[in-house]
């Protein structure tokens, strides 16, 4: 079983998290059955950007990186407190541990910023939220990242980044393909109505 750890910060954007739960869940139920997903946060109870509460399966201190094959990180809103958790030592250390183990790290939108802050993207290609005059991409560049400003999704070795919420499903399908196969990913996309 390939296990995905969905790393949630207070203020995460629900739609960006839900694509991972749905794509990995659809694969478990209707695809090759080889994937599972669990959620983790600094604390069990978190609020998403627009206010509803979620309960995580685990807290970061309970996680053994060796038990997982990939890390998924949705973005969130600064006004909802996203960066307080996302830039915390516990978050950054977990990201570093996944990268050191050469495991897949998939992010959507500003989920790339804590990856950049962790240092693992220094000298590598990535992207993040590209609108609002590119302010978030400038922040990512401050972490010594080579920002590919006009690319919707950037893959550099084991790390997937993207430039806005509209890319979320594509990131989740890219993750699924990397964990399983192109054929299986196409099968799941077809079942979910993404291909004719």
Helix (H) or strand (E) holding 154: strand 153-156
- Provide the angle, in degrees to the nearest 10, between the axes of the packed helices 182-191 and 168-179: 140
At 153, list the tokens. 């999704």
- pLDDT over threshold 90, residue 196: no
Q: Where does residue 73 rank: exposed (0-12), middle (13-18), buried (19+ CB within 10 A)?
A: buried
Residues of the chain with pLDDT > 70, as a percent, come to 99
pLDDT tens-digit profile of 172-187?
999 999 999 999 999 9
- pLDDT over threshold 90, residue 15: yes
- pLDDT attached to residue 72: 98
Q: Of 83, 99, 13, give the one whose Cα is nearest residue 42.
A: 83
pLDDT tens-digit profile of 92-138?
999 999 999 999 999 999 999 999 999 999 999 999 999 999 999 99
186 SS3 class = helix
**Residue 195 pLDDT class (50, 70, 90 cuts):** confident
pLDDT tens-digit profile of 138-181?
999 999 999 999 999 999 999 999 999 999 999 999 999 999 99
């Amino acid at each position: 079983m390939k296990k995905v750890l969905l790393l949630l910060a207070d203020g995460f954007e629900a739609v960006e998290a839900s694509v991972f739960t749905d794509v990995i869940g659809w694969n478990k139920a209707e695809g090759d059955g080889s994937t599972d997903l669990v959620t983790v946060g600094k604390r069990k109870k978190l609020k998403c950007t627009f206010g509803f509460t979620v309960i995580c399966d685990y807290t970061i201190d309970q996680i053994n990186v060796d038990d997982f094959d990939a890390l998924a990180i949705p973005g969130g809103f600064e006004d909802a407190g996203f960066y307080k958790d996302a830039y915390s030592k516990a978050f950054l250390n977990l990201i570093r541990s996944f990268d050191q183990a050469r495991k897949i790290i998939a992010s959507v939108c500003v989920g790339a910023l804590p990856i950049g802050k962790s240092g693992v993207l220094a000298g590598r290609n990535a992207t993040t939220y590209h609108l609002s005059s590119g302010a978030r991409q400038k922040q990512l560049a401050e972490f010594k990242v080579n920002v590919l400003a006009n690319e919707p999704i950037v893959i550099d070795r084991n790390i997937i980044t993207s430039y806005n919420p509209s890319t979320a499903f594509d990131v989740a399908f890219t993750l699924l393909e990397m964990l399983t196969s192109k054929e299986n990913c196409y099968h799941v996309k077809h079942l979910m109505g993404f291909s004719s």
